[in-house]
Amino acid sequence: MSISQKIFTVCCALLALCFVLASVWQWYGFLRTTRSYQPYSHLDSTSVGQSIKYTSAPKTKDVDSTDKEYDQEEEVQEEVVENNITHEDEVVDEQDVPELELTRAKEMPKEIYLAVPFTSQAPEKNWDQPWQDACEEAAVLMVDAYYKKYGVSPLFAKGEMQKMVHWEEAQGWGTSVPASQVQELYAYFSDGTHDMRVVYDPTITQIKTYLSLGNPVIALARGKSLKNPYFSNGGPEYHALVIIGYTEDGFVTHDPGTSRGAGFVYSFETLMGALHDWNNGNVQSGEPVILVLE
């Protein structure tokens, strides 16, 4: 074998060795990446009566005022919950959900959090009227912001809720309104871009299905039955809040009745048992009701 042939053979052997080493290194890096990847590892486990930890939007400066619920509480901020879904097969009762929605929800998520902006019904921490009874307006604003994809700062929330209050006063409505009027309020505020459906006697599976399809749910309830530890004087007799998701422990809500209401988890039993329409003030005898977009 000539010298040139020997050199050629050695070069080929070195190239083959380099190719093998590069392949081994690439495979090793893939294994390390696969083993270290943990989906949804950023989520903190949350029990009933606590708030889901979520990623906040940029902070907005609040207006100085006194919060009747808390002497020392951070400023109200625009708060957005990340969409996080893990799937698990679950049997859906066909009587619970309309046929079209049943078809679209073949796999029920194990847990879900919709990215609904949060606002308290008292965005500047002033709990005098009309803010004391502005939970319906806050719920409508949060749902509209979700579908139209805009943020909700305290100053903006105050202005939008005042528009709703003035419109309701022009209709001759009271400070607390039943599901049918919440439906009308949403139609007015959203400029008719979406229609709300009133659903009486909802089931847990039905609410989960709406959420799994990407639709937050407005719940009307007897506030005192919710037993939220952050409510003053046991909570309001009549209340509105937004269900934005669920975990294995219960429903995740944005409860505007407290500045600490973003991502608050109520057990399924507590929230379902508290659902009641206004019923002319006899809330405890009111029919269980929710509202969801059609």
Which tens digits make up the pLDDT trace of 237-286?
A: 999 999 999 999 999 999 999 999 999 999 999 999 999 999 999 999 99
Neighbours of 110 (CB within 10 A): 14
For residue 193, pLDDT over 70 is answered with yes
Cβ contact 276:222 at 8 Å: yes
pTM of the model as a whole: 0.70
pLDDT in tens, 198-240: 999 999 999 999 999 999 999 999 999 999 999 999 999 999 9
- pLDDT band for position 41 (cuts 50, 70, 90): very low
Retrieve residue 101's tokens: 């929605």
- pLDDT band for position 192 (cuts 50, 70, 90): confident
